[in-house]
Amino acid sequence: MFLGYVAGFFDGEGCIHLSTRKNNYTSVVSVSQRVRQPLDLIQETFGGVVTWNGHVYLLTAFTVDQQKVFLEALLPHLIVKKQQAKLMLEFLNRKRQRGRRYTDEQRGKYDKICQELRDLKRGE
């Protein structure tokens, strides 16, 4: 039941974002809410940091491994963000090792995933 609740909560209040800058890719998985208690429950299970930005509480700063565990656990229960989660997991499972450059093939694939995530958020 807990994973179903978290998945529903994440479908409504969560964010999956992948950005690129100077050949570097940054993955963000976050959840925001005006009430802190649900975020504390999620944090206890999956990690991350809860902060207050003056308007809402934000659970973020998941490590790549925490992002993978979180999305893999919720994936069977997600509805709205299911495809976004699949794309992010595809990226996270292919991410390069530290200190190594991206190949042209990797950059092309990651840029495509970035664009697909943007399109899904716009409802395209």
Domain residue ranges in the chain: 2-122
* Cβ-Cβ contacts under 8 Å for 47 (sequence gap 6 or more): 62, 63, 66
| pLDDT value of position 76 | 97
For 31-50, give one letter per residue: b (16+ CB within 10 A) or e: bbbeeeebbeebbeebbbeb
Q: What's the order of all strands across the beta sheet hosting 57-60?
A: 14-21, 24-33, 57-60, 49-52
CATH class assigned to 2-122: alpha beta
pLDDT tens column, 74-124: 999 999 999 999 999 999 987 656 657 778 888 888 889 989 988 988 875
